[in-house]
Structure 1
C-alpha cells in the first residue's frame, strides 16, 4: 500500500476512541422543555409523483389515530381543484360526456372516500394542494387574460384572482366535509393530473404571496370556516422559506385568523443534515406547525437505520457547539405559544427509490416525534424509550443497545453522506436511489478538499463511518424485537447500511485520490487499486443481500440523479455517477 493510504488507515484505527466519545455525548439535550400538548399533529404519505401509490400502514387513518394524530394530509398529487368541474366559471371547460369530465368526477370520488375514512377514524382530512394548477382547457380559453409576458399564469392578472376565488368556493361546495387544505407554492407537480397544467404563483415576490394569502384567508378561513396551512417552502429565490425579515414583511401584513396556520420545515432549506435550524420558526404573530420528514431522501429513505428525531428535537450533533447563537432544535422553541404543532411526512419525499418492504425506520421516527408532540415533557429520549418498550417489546439493556444503534446511525450518516471535516457544498451528490461521482456531482467539493489539503482527513472520516456500521451490524444481532419481520429487517437493513457506506468509502478512496492525482500528476496507485478491488467486492456483497433477503429494500444505482425524462420523472444519468467515475480511474490503473 502507498504511504498516504497507510496514514489514512492508522487514523481510522484510532477512530474507536472517537466513536466511543461520540456515542457517549449523542442525544444530550441543551434545554429541557416545559410540558405541552401541541394543538396540531398531522401526518402525510407523500407518494412519488407519477408512480404507483405507496402501500403503507400510514395510509390508514385508524393507524394515525392510534399514534395520537388528529389530522391526515392526503397527498396523491391530485389537488382538490383538479376534482371539480369549474361549471361555476365556464361549462365549456369540462363539458358533460367528455373524457376530462369523467376523469374529474372519478378523482372527486377518491377524495370523498379519503375524507370519509379519516372522519370514520376520528381525525381531520386535509388535501395537499399545489397552486397554481388549473385545467388546460381553461388556460386555452382565457390565456390572454391570465398569462403574463413569459407565458405564466399570473396573480397580477385580475381574472386569475377571480378564477381562484370561484375555484375555492366550488371546492368547498363539492367537498363539504373537507376540513381544509395544505397549500404549496414554488413547485408544481402535474404528473398525475393529465387534464391540468400550472406553475409557481410567486412571480412577484411578497406581492404574490400577499395576494394569494388574501384570497385563501377570505374564501377558505372566513367564508367557508376551513383551515389553510400555508407552506413557506419554495424553491429558487423565494426568501419566505428561511429569511425571518422577509417572513415578517409578508406575514405581518396578513390579519391573523384561527383557521390560518403557517407551515415551516425545521431546516432552513430541504431536509438535509448540516443545514441550520430554520430561523423563521417562532417568528411573527401567526401560529406555525413544523414539518419533519421521517423517510429522508438524502439519507437512505428507510433502507437502513437513520434515526433523526434526536437531532430534530435536541439539535443535530454538528450544531451542538459552544459558539452557537440561536436555537438548534424544537426543544428550545416549543414553549413559544405560536408553535402549534408538528406535521410529519411518515413516508415519501423525493423521487424514485429505494423502495421499501418494511417501514421499521420510518415508524421509529414517526412514532417518537408524534409521542413527543403530545407530551413534550417526556423529552426525546423518554419518547424513544416508550417506543422501544411498548412497540418493540425491549427491556433494560436491550433498550440501551437499540438506542446506541439509533444514535450511531445518525452519527454515521453525518460522516458518510455529508462531512464534519469538509462542509459539503453539493449536498445532492447522493439522493433517492442515486450515487454521484467525481465526474460531476463531487467536482467542486473535491477541488476544495484538495486545495485545502484535506484528502486524508476526509477519507479517514468516510472509513470511520463504515466502521460505525460494523458496530451497528453487530448490535443488530443482539436486539430481539418482538415482531419477527421487524427483527429480520433490523439485521438486513443494518447490513444494507454497512454496504452503502463501504461502497462510498472505497469509491471515494478511488475517486478523491484519483482527482488529486489529476491535479498534481501523482497517483497513489497502490491505494487506488486496493480500494477499487474492495469497492467491486462490496457491490457484489450488496447485490447478494438484495437477492437473498426478501425484506431488503431495492438497491441504489451507481449513477447521478437526473435528468427528467419525457414522463416528467427523474431518471439516472448514465454518463455520470460513482460507476462512470471509478471506471475512469479503473482504465487509468490498467494502462
Structure 2
C-alpha cells in the first residue's frame, strides 16, 4: 500500500445548522436529508475547495460520513430506505468531487448502527451482527466501487443528543469480539481490494475499553491477523487529543500497517478561535514514529470532533486561519519531515501574511499559554488512570466550558504541590498575551483573535487564583464580575461563539485527608491494574454507579450525564 494521508471533510454539511452547541462527530443526517438542491450544490462546491487545497498540501485521501446512512438493506423501514436512496444520490456527487481532485474516499462506520425495525428483524432472524455486516459491506462496496476503504469505530457510539433513524450502540465488548469481527470482515475487503481502517479509540466501556493503551488487550485483538488490507488507526496518546501525553506505545507492538490520528482543530483548546499551535508537539511525535515499523501515514481531523459552539471550518472559512495553519504544518512535518519553523514561514508566504518571524514568536508564546494556563502543568504531567481510561490532563476546561468550582479547587490542591509556581506561570502567560497583540499586527493575523484569547485566558488566570491563592471570597467576587463582562461582550448574536463559564463556589464538605484516601483508592498511577481494581473498581463499582444513577440521579452532574455518551459509559 502507498502512504495514506487522510483529511476529514465533514464541515460543509453543517452549513445552516442552527444550534448553539453542535455535535461535530458526524454529519447531522436528519438535517442534511431535509435540504434542497441549492444546499447540496454548496456542499459540493465547498468540498471541491477543501479537496483541491488538501491535495496541493500533500493529502491523498479523505474521510467522510457514513456507511449506515448510505448502505441500503431490505430490512430497513421503507420510509428510511426512501431517504437513504436520495442521500446516496447526493453523496455520489460528493464522492466524485473528492475523487476528481485526487483524494481516495474512505467512509466512516460505527459498529453497530441500526434502526429499530432492523434490530427487531435481526433478533427475529437470529442473525449475528457480524454476518449482517458481511453482507451489508459486500453490497456497499459493489454499489460504491470508487470508495477506497471504510473507517471502522467500535469504541464510541452516538452521543445523547443524536436523535436519528439510526442509533449506534457498542456491541464489541471484548478483544475476542473485535478479532472475530475483523476475521469476518477482512475477506470482504480483500475480495474488493479495499482498505479496512480499524480505529483503536475507545471511551473505556467493557473489557475492550482499554484497547488504545493496554498492551495485552491490543495483542489479543490483533492476534493472528495478517491481512494487507487492514490498517490500524491510533490516536497519538493514550486518551483523547490532549497535550502532555507520551506517544502511544502500541505503535511499536505490531507489524500491521498503522496510521496516527492527529487533530488540528483542537476540540479541547478552542477549535481555532485563538492560536493553539500543534507544530512542535506533532514534530516530536513524527520523529519518534520513525522508529516504529510499518507506519504508513496519518489521519488529520481538521473539522471533526467535540460538542462545541465554535464554527470555524478549515479550508473554507477565512477566519479559520489557525486551523489551516495547524493542518498545513502538520502534513508538511509528517509527510516531508520539514522543520516547523520552515513550514510556518512557507504558510505565511502562501497566505501572504506579514512578518513570519513575528508569527513564529506569537506561536511560541501562545503555545506556552495553552500548555501552562489552559492546562495546569503540574497536574497535566501526572499519569493517572481510573478503571479503563487515562484521566484527561486538563480539569478546568472541557469543550466549550470553563469550570470554576470548589470541588476542582480541592482536587487541584491535592495534586499540585507547587501552588506558587502555578500562580507565577499564569501571570507569565498573561504577560505573553499582552505581547502577542503587537506581534499579531506585525504578522498580519487577526488581532481580534488575540483579544478574544486574552479575555478568555484572563478568566483562566482568575480561576487559577481561586484554586491556589488563599482569599477565595474576594476572588469569587472578581470571577463573578469577569464572567458577566465576558458574557456581555461575547454573547452578541452573530459576533462569535463563546465559552460558557460554569461557577460553583459551594464548599465541598470533604476532609482533605478523606479526599486523598478516595483518590488513592479510585485512581492509580500505573497502567496495569491493581488487585483493588480487579476486585472492586472494575466490577462492584459498576453496580454501585447503576444504583446511584437510578436512586440518586441528582448526585451526577448534568454536564457529565448529558454530554456526549454520558459518564455512565465509563462504568460499563
The question of a shared fold, defined as TM-score above 0.5 by the shorter chain, is answered with yes
Query: Which residue is equivalent to 2:471?
Result: 524
Deviation at 1:86, TM superposition (A): 1.3
CA contact (8 A) 1:233 1:240 kept: yes
Q: What are the Cα deviations for residues 281-332 of structure 1, in whole angstroms up to 9, with x where unaligned?
A: 2331111111100111111111111101211112xxxxxxxxxxxxxx2212
Deviation at 1:498, TM superposition (A): 0.9
Query: Which residue is equivalent to 2:224?
Result: 253
Of the candidates 95, 99, 103, which is equivalent to residue 83 of structure 2? 103
Rounded to whole Å, the distance in 2 between the matches of 1:512 and 1:355 is 34
> Which aligned pairs between 1:43-192 and structure 2 lie closer than 5 A?
43-46=7-10, 48-49=24-25, 60-75=50-65, 79-87=66-74, 90=75, 93-94=76-77, 98-143=78-123, 159-189=128-158
Q: What are the Cα deviations for residues 432-454 of structure 1, in whole angstroms up to 9, with x where unaligned?
A: 211112244554223444xx4x4
What is the TM-score normalised by the length of structure 1? 0.72
Of the candidates 448, 453, 466, which is equivalent to residue 430 of structure 2? 466
SS of residue paired to 2:249: coil
CA contact (8 A) 2:283 2:334 kept: no
CA contact (8 A) 2:178 2:221 kept: yes
Structure 1 residues 440, 110: CA separation in 2 closer, same or farther (over 3 Å shift)?
farther
Q: What are the Cα deviations for residues 394-440 of structure 1, in whole angstroms up to 9, with x where unaligned?
A: 4xxx2221111112211110111212234376625312211112244
Deviation at 1:463, TM superposition (A): 2.3
CA contact (8 A) 2:155 2:200 kept: no
> Which aligned pairs between 1:537-552 and structure 2 lie closer than 5 A?
537=482, 540=485, 543-544=488-489
- Root mean square deviation, CA, Å: 3.1
Deviation at 1:40, TM superposition (A): 1.5
Query: Which residue is equivalent to 2:461?
Result: 505
Query: Which residue is equivalent to 2:267?
Result: 297
Deviation at 1:141, TM superposition (A): 2.4
Query: Which residue is equivalent to 2:177?
Result: 208
Moved over 6 A (4+): 52-59, 568-571
Rounded to whole Å, the distance in 1 between the matches of 2:409 and 2:135 is 48
Structure 1: runs of 5+ lacking an equivalent = 1-36, 147-157, 315-328, 481-486, 514-522, 572-591
Q: Aligned pairs, how many? A: 468
Q: What are the Cα deviations for residues 71-127 of structure 1, in whole angstroms up to 9, with x where unaligned?
A: 11013xxx213323313xx4xx33xxx322222212222321221111121211111
SS of residue paired to 1:306: coil
CA contact (8 A) 1:81 1:167 kept: no
SS of residue paired to 2:378: coil
Of the candidates 418, 431, 436, which is equivalent to residue 375 of structure 2? 418
Structure 1 residues 446, 165: CA separation in 2 closer, same or farther (over 3 Å shift)?
same
Rounded to whole Å, the distance in 1 between the matches of 2:125 and 2:245 is 41
Query: Which residue is equivalent to 1:338?
Result: 294
Larger deviation, residues 469-478 vs 136-145: 136-145
Structure 1 residues 38, 559: CA separation in 2 closer, same or farther (over 3 Å shift)?
farther
Of the candidates 344, 349, 352, which is equivalent to residue 389 of structure 1? 349
CA contact (8 A) 1:564 1:570 kept: no
Rounded to whole Å, the distance in 1 between the matches of 2:498 and 2:264 is 19
What is the TM-score normalised by the length of structure 2? 0.74
Structure 1 residues 562, 73: CA separation in 2 closer, same or farther (over 3 Å shift)?
farther
CA contact (8 A) 1:302 1:359 kept: yes
Of the candidates 240, 244, 268, which is equivalent to residue 274 of structure 1? 244
Larger radius of gyration: 1
Rounded to whole Å, the distance in 1 between the matches of 2:170 and 2:79 is 27
CA contact (8 A) 1:310 1:381 kept: no
Deviation at 1:459, TM superposition (A): 2.3
SS of residue paired to 2:179: helix
Query: Which residue is equivalent to 2:193?
Result: 225
Structure 2: runs of 5+ lacking an equivalent = 12-23, 33-41, 383-390, 504-556, 567-572
Rounded to whole Å, the distance in 2 between the matches of 1:366 and 1:57 is 16
Structure 1 residues 284, 273: CA separation in 2 closer, same or farther (over 3 Å shift)?
same
Rounded to whole Å, the distance in 2 between the matches of 1:246 and 1:346 is 29
Query: Which residue is equivalent to 1:309?
Result: 279
Structure 1 residues 532, 455: CA separation in 2 closer, same or farther (over 3 Å shift)?
farther
Query: Which residue is equivalent to 2:235?
Result: 265
CA contact (8 A) 1:372 1:379 kept: yes
